[in-house]
Amino acid sequence: MARGSVDMNLLFTLGEVQRLVRAYADKQAARYGITRAQWAVLAKVERSEGLKQSELAELMEMQPITLTRLIDKLCDHGWIERRGDDTDRRVNRLYLRKAARPLLGKLAGLRSELTATALEGINPADAHRLLAQLETIKENVRNAIQNAAGEAPRKEQHYG
Amino acid sequence: MARGSVDMNLLFTLGEVQRLVRAYADKQAARYGITRAQWAVLAKVERSEGLKQSELAELMEMQPITLTRLIDKLCDHGWIERRGDDTDRRVNRLYLRKAARPLLGKLAGLRSELTATALEGINPADAHRLLAQLETIKENVRNAIQNAAGEAPRKEQHYG
DNA sequence: TCAAATTCATAAGCTAGCTTATTATATCAT
DNA sequence: ATGATATAATAAGCTAGCTTATGAATTTGA
C-alpha cells in the first residue's frame, strides 16, 4: 500500500515539480539576462575553473552537445572563455572572465531566495535528508543506465 | 551551515536528478513506442476520462499548447480520442480508446519497475516522506509563481 | 441585442534536452 | 611507423518545455 501509492506518483511528481521549479527559476534568472540552464553551467565553472567540456558534461549528467550550446551562449555574453589545452589540441578548458563577477554575486543571492521559497515549511534537517535522498536516487538511476547500456554489447563481450 | 549546503545544491540537484530519471524512463518507455511525456498524459486520462484539455494542462502544471502537441501524438497512435463537448463547442474532452488497454497494462508494470529502481536503498516510510516533501515544494513554488504574477497588475488592483 | 471580454484550442518560434554522425586529434597494437 | 581505435568537440535534426499571438465560440453587461 505504501509502496503502491509511491508507485502511483513518484515518477510523474518529480517531473511536475521540476517543471514548476524550472519555470520559476528561469523567470527570476531572466532579470539578470541569464537562463537557469546557463546559470547551472556558470556555477560549476565558478566552483572549478579549468575543467574540460567533457568533464563538465559528465558532472552535470548532460550530453556534451547540450553543454556545447550553453557554453556558446555564456561565451557570447563574455562571462566565460574557452582556452586550448597545452598538450591536447582537441581539448577546451573553461575559465571565468572578469565580467562574470558581479553577476555571480547576484546569482548567489537569488539561489538562496529560491531555495528558501521552495523549502518553506520543511525544517533544515528534513531538507538535508531530502537532498541526500535525491542524491541516492541519482546514483541508483545512473547505475541502472550504466547496466542497461552494457546489456546487449558487441565486441567487449567474451562469452563467445 | 545546514541551510547553506542545501542552498548550494537543491536547485541544481533537482535538475540533474530529473534529467537522469527522464532519460531512463524515456529509454524504457520507448520499448512500447511511447515517450515518458506522452505516457504521463495517457496515465492522467486513464485515471479521469472526460477531462477538458485545459483542465488536464492545469493538473499537469503544463501549458495548454505543450499538452496539445502530446495529445496530437496520442491520437495519432489511436490510444485516446478528442470528443466535442455537447454544450460548449470550444471544448475537447479526452477519452481512452480500446487500443490503449494492453499498453496501459504494460506501462503499469514498467512504472513499478522504474520506481523500485530509483528508490533502492530508501525504505518505504522515507519514500513516502520524500514524496510528501516534493508535493510541499510543488505547492510552495506554485504559490510563489502566482504571487509573482500578481505583483504588477493593472486593472484588478484597487489601491488607487 | 450586440460589443467587449473571456475562454479553449492551436500556431509560430524560442530554449534545452536527446541521438546519431562528423571532424580533428591522440593513443595503442602490431 | 602505421592502421585501427578511442576521445573531444561540434553539427543536424528530433522531442518537449516555454511565451506570445490568433481564431473561434461563449459569456457578460450596458
The total of other beta-carbon atoms located within 10 Å of residue B27's CB is 14
Reply yes or no on whether the pLDDT at B159 is more than 80.
no
Inter-CA distances, B78 with A99, B36, B100, B110, B155, Å: 53, 17, 8, 21, 45
pLDDT tens digits for range A22-77 = 999 999 999 999 999 999 999 999 999 999 999 999 989 899 999 999 999 999 99
Q: CB within 8 A of A16, min separation 6: which ones?
A: B60, B61, B138
Q: Compute the distance between CA of residue A142 and CA of residue B21 in angstroms, rounded to an integer.
A: 9
According to DSSP, residue B92 is labeled: E
CB-CB: which of A114, A122, A140 is closest to B136? A122
Give me the CA A42–C1' C27 separation in Å, rounded.
Answer: 32
CA of B90 to C1' of C2 (A): 21
Indicate whether this model's pTM tops 0.85: yes
Helix (H) or strand (E) holding A95: strand A92-96
Cite the DSSP H helix spans in B2-99.
2-29, 36-47, 53-59, 64-76
Gap from B85 CA to C4 C1', in Å? Answer: 25
* Nearest-CB residue to A131 (from B13, B21, B25): B13
Cβ of B35 < 7 Å from strand D? yes
Higher pLDDT, A49 or B157: A49
pLDDT score of B150: 56
Could you tell me where the DSSP H helices lie in chain A?
2-29, 36-47, 53-59, 64-76, 100-118, 124-149
- Among B56, B62, B115, pick the best mutation site for testing chain A contact (most A Cβ within 10 A): B115
Check residues 64 to 123 of chain B and report those whose beta carbon is under 7 Å from nucleic acid strand D: 65-66, 69-70, 73, 87-90
